[in-house]
Chains A and B, each alone.
Chain A
């Protein structure tokens, strides 16, 4: 393989991988506070992008994105209030099946609100044909936007969880719900908040990636399973490791595409999921302690 080709594939891998990482972090935020794998996570990403695409016809792009993120945040909160809060003492499996149902309803709602057409948001800077050249590889400036926004989201979340009161309260809930309640943390509110937060960052990820990969109503479930793969690869609940795992999976997929048919791309990443589930259920980096601590 040519040198410039390697750079090209790596960059496209890192771009997609950083989106997987953000979806995985969305999984982790909810998993940490509730123990649920929220299947509708992929749906939030698509919903965010779709809303922004529609709004951008009436308002400037940045405003449309902000509004879309806010709307999706509300949607996340709504999903929790309507579906999850009602069955607090239900088994985890039941809750997961409910989130599967939610993801289908969301997908079908999007099909009826919009349609089955492939859409995409306008490029943030430049157009579809403007390129940046690094190390002999050409790529769209949108790639820089994706990487930049992902980095900012990860950093902002780290700051949020470490230094703000709400963030600390959420971590307390993740660690020991009973103890957190005894300290006066409203754990219900934290659960709702975690759904809103992960819906919000999912929507943001959907908006920045939309110009590159485009958006269609049924992209949610595949994205969700990639995100889950990344979350498990890094160890469920461990967001720092999820970033590394996301980039790894993105690179793996990019180089798979270079060697095999595009149709097999997903096969490879799901095989990774199955292998990790069977051989290293605590993740590549996680010893048993990390899995047990569920540190955020």
Chain B
């Protein structure tokens, strides 16, 4: 029963996802699924950020950076042509192991690149490693210093992507091949795969949700909340605050990398517009409006707001909407709009009233 309540969000979500697919297919409006799929990948970042900000209480204004590192790693590895190195023993060795794959591009030129699946794993590992190395010094900072440091990190990634030739500079990287998980199941934006990809994206999101919920309800989750409430007190009780903060930081970066890499394969491209400060702020705003410490709310808002934004509902006011949301939430309801009411608190409040 407790388990049922704990995972209610995932169950309700799964049912809603299937219902939505059935309705959209029956209605003949499957084109909506493209944006929903993209929103789902963006929501992976939000789920990770929610763990980091809502539970561990550490702010990050650089998560678009991790998203991009994941996406760019996958994109570079799967598009960088190794054909010139054919005949070099280790390249041929990798090829016979299936680590490299040969294919032809649009114009019939031969390509030899890292296999997408391997590139995907490499993207997650590299992002986690970088997050670890960056988090090591940065997470010792607090308050506005941490905010500025993470913001600085995001800007550095942005500038490097803009200035480096291998990363495509202002154009980004295009012609990223589909990520084939096995025959007949691949992450790609092509039209026949639309419904399939809708479910792949949601599977990734639900896996992240289950991981997140497990984390929150574990010993680590309790430690994280204690850090959020009072770091000194948690520290004095023997909680290794620094280690918990760091591992949450790495986990949330890994979530962002998964989202980034999958979206890159889905879109077939990635560009520097994914790394702007505004993107990071957008994730922050979604997390805030979903209720900082509320994974379900963050997911709901992540899907909804990203979907509306991708459909172009906000028009030229896109960024302004997210800025406005951020201010409104912080001014009026810093705990988030969709935060579950704390019944115990409410009851004690009522009881006190009745006694008085």
Contact = CB atoms under 8 A, between A and B. Distances in A.
Contacts of B274: none
Contact of A266 (B151, B159, B317, B320): B159
Contacts of B277: 221
A6 interface: no
A263 B143 contact: no
Interface string B248-284: 0000000000000000000000000000011001001
Contact of B148 (A101, A102, A271, A277): A277
A222 B278 CA distance: 12
A37 B288 CA distance: 20
A93 B147 contact: yes
A100 B322 CA distance: 11
Nearest to B137: A278
B320 A105 contact: yes
B16 interface: no
A76 interface: no
Contacts of A83: 327, 331
Interface in B120-151: 137-138, 140-141, 143-145, 147-149, 151
B320 A270 contact: no
Contacts of B61: 100
A96 B144 contact: yes
B160 interface: yes
Contacts of A97: 59, 284, 288, 326, 330
B153 interface: yes
B334 interface: yes
Nearest to B165: A261
Contact of A263 (B152, B159, B285): B159
Nearest to B162: A263
A159 to B, nearest CB: 29
Nearest to A97: B330
Interface residues of B, number: 40
B19 interface: no
B144 A105 contact: no
Given A97-B330, A101-B330, A105-B323, A281 B141 contact: yes
B316 interface: yes
Contacts of A94: 330, 334
Contact of A101 (B138, B141, B155, B323): B323
Max count, chain B CB within 10 A of own CB: residue among A36, A264, A274: A274
B131 to A, nearest CB: 14
A87 interface: yes
Contacts of A37: 144, 147-148
A108 interface: yes
B324 interface: yes
B148 A273 contact: yes
A274 B319 CA distance: 27
Contacts of A117: none
A128 interface: no
A221 B322 CA distance: 16
Nearest to B169: A263
Contacts of B330: 87, 90, 94, 97-98, 101
A100 B329 CA distance: 13
A267 interface: yes
A277 B145 contact: yes
Max count, chain A CB within 10 A of own CB: residue among B277, B320, B330: B330
Interface in B284-315: 284-285, 288
Contacts of A102: 323, 327
A225 B319 contact: no
Given A37-B148, A98-B330, A278-B138, A92 B143 contact: yes
B156 interface: yes
Contacts of B284: 97, 100
A96 B59 CA distance: 11
A281 B145 contact: yes
B93 interface: no
A105 B138 contact: no
A193 interface: no
B163 interface: yes
Given A37-B148, A221-B277, A264-B159, A277 B141 contact: yes
A86 interface: yes
A225 B155 contact: yes
Nearest to A231: B148
A90 B332 CA distance: 11
Contact of B323 (A96, A104, A267): A104
A109 interface: yes
A123 interface: no
Max count, chain A CB within 10 A of own CB: residue among B137, B281, B323, B334: B323
Contacts of B145: 232, 277, 281
Contacts of A98: 326-327, 330-331
Contacts of A93: 59, 143-144, 147
A262 to B, nearest CB: 8
B148 A228 contact: yes
A100 B281 contact: yes
B144 A92 contact: yes
Nearest to B57: A93
Contacts of B138: 274, 277-278
17 contacts: A37-B147, A90-B330, A93-B144, A98-B327, A100-B61, A100-B281, A101-B323, A105-B324, A108-B323, A263-B159, A264-B159, A266-B156, A273-B148, A273-B149, A273-B152, A277-B145, A278-B138
Given A100-B326, A278-B137, 17 more contacts: A37-B144, A94-B330, A94-B334, A101-B285, A101-B330, A108-B323, A112-B316, A232-B148, A266-B155, A267-B159, A267-B160, A273-B152, A274-B137, A274-B138, A274-B153, A278-B149, A281-B141
The 3 nearest A-B residue pairs measured at CB: A263-B163, A104-B323, A101-B327
